[in-house]
Copies of this chain bind each other. A is one copy, B any other.
Amino acid sequence: MLAAAMGSWTRPLCKCCASLPVQPQVTLELSENISVETKRWLMSRIQAEKIAGGAELMVHPGEDDEGNMLLVSASRHVLLRAAEVLGLYKLYKDGSMISFCYRDRRNFENSDNIDEFLTLAECQFIILRSLGNIKAVDEKYVPGYPTTSLYPGESIFNRLQKSKILLGFYPLHQEEMLSELEKCWYSHRKLTLQPIDSIYRYYGGSVAMYFSFLEFFTCSLAPMAIFGTTVVALSMDTVDKCILFSVFNIIWSTVIMELWKRHSFVLSYTWGTLQMNSQFEEPRMGYEGPMGTNPITLRHQPYYPAWKRKVKIWLVSVPFLCLFLAIALYGTFIFFRLEAWVKGFYSEHENCWTCVLYLPSILHALYITGLNILHKMVAEVLTEWENHRLESSFQNHLTVKVLVFRFVNCFSALFYISFYLQDLELLRKNLASLLILTQIINQFTETLVPYFYKILHPKRAGLKSCTMENAPEIDKIKLQGQKTPFPGMFDEYMELFVQFGYVSLFSCIYPLSALLIILNNITEIRTDALKLCHLFQKPFISPAANIGVWQTAFETIGYLSVITNCLLISISPQVKEYCAESDITSNSLLIWAIGVEHALLVIKITLAFAIPDIPAWVKLRIDRVEYQSLHALKHKLFEEDKGPGRETEEKEGWPGEIVRSDSADSSLHASNRQLNLL
């Protein structure tokens, strides 16, 4: 249907692609009062050849009443070619994963069937990148908007989005695939593993990585849960148990993070993202700077020197973070003072309400929540102001800022109770209530907040009813546009991070944590999946090779847990009792605790070092491919060496060109680390 309508608008570059109906992949939402001139210009730029600064994509006006929609799709050859440039690794006929090569495409599995060969997420990501790559050529301003200036080489889509001519773009759901995915993902009642590969195909790297990590984390909690439940059931409240549980805990946290690293390598190897090079990442939308000469490209373009960013980070962002931390810590301190005061007040005035007792906790919870929201806003402004060039670097800096703050906010009260008050009974109660309460609250808010958000945006809701007069396909697309944009995986990872903190930092105090978290996460998987499939717009997800900065965050918690566990044991009443019985002074106990702590840290580092990050079979396959490419190069060297012109050119230089310089030079790079590992 769409392909037929496109006839007059699109000029597909090869006939074989145009002859099949093409499903739209991405929708662009333009401002409502867009002129035909601007729309036509935009379409021509999207269709234009790469050499003319275009994207060579197929585009179709949405044919809705408002006329502010464009549907974009890509032909098979454009997609395949982009896959080569992107450096995607695909399954070769010999069963290995190698960097896709367009010329050699027939030897790759499924390359004739584009829907099998490239995943939906990959196709949509390629289209997003191609759109972002459309550069202004000789336009001085956006046609129809004389005030919106352009400079040669500027990304048109950046400019359009900044000046609100382009309201947004979102990839489209494919209903059949989605309903099939839902069926095997969460709509059945049985407890099965998730279809991670299907999730990858539909949603892309980081989403699939998150769900895989969630599943892995939940499963790996099982031994902790069994151990913890046994301990509680048998009520073995002795020193030995405490120490045993802590040591188990420390080894467990190290081993599961290492195993996860291995597992994520396997996943990204089979997805072809492990060895993918990410050098083609484009500057992010918000990147700005005075026009200057980029010292690397030597071109005249907005350029923001890295040292200025560093100055901003160290002189403004870091102090700001410290200030927030101080405010949060001070709040916790006030809370404990207030609570003590209220307790005293309550015991003195017996006729006042009991709920007064809960006032400090409620105030503190509100304070923390408010501070969290405020800090996230400030962190976003600061990170934006730091002016990062790449989206990934922006995200990493934002994540680290929010992560550190949330961590302190979540755990400061627990640290205060355990190491200042040294009241392990209170700590146990707090842990239990935190685990149970926050999980219930989270489950509710995670599902309810998106609904409330919709109700609070009546403009979109109004739009919803009036557009229902278009063709049903167009209405479905419009409906998707009205959904909330996907907010990213930050809050989901944060939840897991806090859970991991509870389990590994304090679990020896409350051994049931692991069990509670498992129960929570089994429902978490379903609610997260439901949210992703129905409450949000489909996100653009780049092919991801790992969970990024979160890996470091979880590992850091692992190292912290050695310190907390050793301290918790040394201050536990059982150990103190034991020491009193055996005439051990608190001084020598402390020395022992420090010794054990350092020894455990060394064991942890050794263990992390001894477990190889990449599984042997993945490494073997990668090495084999690298060896083969080197071998092919050597063969080529010989071949060209034998070639004609050997005798005649003797005087001039080396007989016969060895090999085409660039290919030789860079093939060597390709086979980096090659023979080291044979």
Q: Which of A296, A297, A624 has the most CB of B within 10 A?
A: A296
Copies of this chain in the oligomer:
2
Is the Cβ of A660 less than 8 Å from the Cβ of B658? no
Asked whether, in the complex, the Cβ of A665 is within 8 Å of the Cβ of B16, the reply is: no
Which of B624, B650, B661 is within 8 Å of A13, CB to CB?
B650
Query: CB of A458 within 8 A of chain B?
Result: no
Given contacts A590-B587, A654-B80, contact A103 B661 (CB under 8 A): yes
Contact for A669 among B586, B651, B670, CB less than 8 A: B670
Chain-B contact segment, one of A221-229, A273-281, A442-450, A511-519: A273-281
A215-243 toward B: CB 8 Å interface, digit per residue (1/0)? 00000000000000000000000000000
Beta-carbon nearest neighbor of A298 in chain B: B624
Chain B's nearest CB lies how many Å from the CB of A305? 10
**A671 interface hit (Cβ, 8 Å):** yes
Q: Please, how many angstroms separate the alpha-carbon atoms of A102 and B654 in the complex? A: 9
Q: A664-B101, A667-B666 are in contact. Are A678 and B598 (CB under 8 A)?
A: no
Which residues of A85-109 have CB atoms within 8 Å of chain B's CB atoms? Answer: 85, 87, 99, 101-105
A479 neighbours in B (Cβ, 8 Å):
none
Contact of A654 with B81 at beta-carbon distance under 8 Å, contacts A642-B51, A666-B666 already known: yes
Q: Using A654-B77, A669-B670 as known contacts, say yes or no to A296 and B641 having CB atoms under 8 A apart.
A: no
In the bound complex, do residue B666 and residue A620 qualify as a contact, i.e. CB atoms below 8 Å apart?
A: no
> Does any Cβ of B come within 8 Å of A181's Cβ?
no
A-B contact pairs, 12 of them (CB 8 A): A14-B650, A14-B651, A14-B655, A101-B665, A103-B657, A277-B669, A279-B668, A279-B674, A281-B676, A296-B623, A296-B624, A389-B678
Q: Which A positions have Cβ atoms within 8 angstroms of B? A: 13-16, 50-51, 77, 80-81, 84-85, 87, 99, 101-105, 277-283, 294-298, 306-307, 314, 389-390, 392-393, 563, 586-587, 590-591, 594, 598, 610, 616, 620, 623-624, 626-627, 629-633, 637-638, 641-642, 650-651, 653-655, 657-658, 660-678
> Do A84 and B660 have beta carbons less than 8 Å apart?
no
State the CA gap A307–B620 with chains docked (Å). Answer: 12
Residues on B with beta carbons closer than 8 Å to the beta carbon of A297: 624, 627, 631, 678
Q: A84-B658, A84-B664 are in contact. Are A671 and B103 (CB under 8 A)?
A: no
Collect the chain B residues with CB atoms within 8 Å of residue A623's CB: 296
A306 closest partner in B (C-beta): B616
Residues on B with beta carbons closer than 8 Å to the beta carbon of A283: 678
User: In the complex, what residues of B have CB within 8 A of residue A666's CB?
Assistant: 629, 663, 666-670
In the complex, residue of chain B having the shortest beta-carbon distance to the beta carbon of A75: B654
Inter-chain contact A660/B663, CB cutoff 8 Å: yes
Residues of chain B within 8 A (CB-CB) of A586 are: 587
Nearest chain-B residue to A623 (Cβ)? B296
Closest 4 CB pairs of A and B: A663-B663, A666-B670, A279-B674, A666-B666
* Known A13-B655, A103-B657, A620-B296; contact A277-B390, beta-carbon cutoff 8 A: no
Q: Across the interface, which residues of B come within 8 angstroms of A676, CB to CB?
A: 278-279, 281, 390, 392-393
Distance from A153 Cβ to chain B, minimum over Cβ atoms (Å): 12
Contacts of A591 in B (CB 8 A): 590
Contact B671 A279 (CB under 8 A): yes
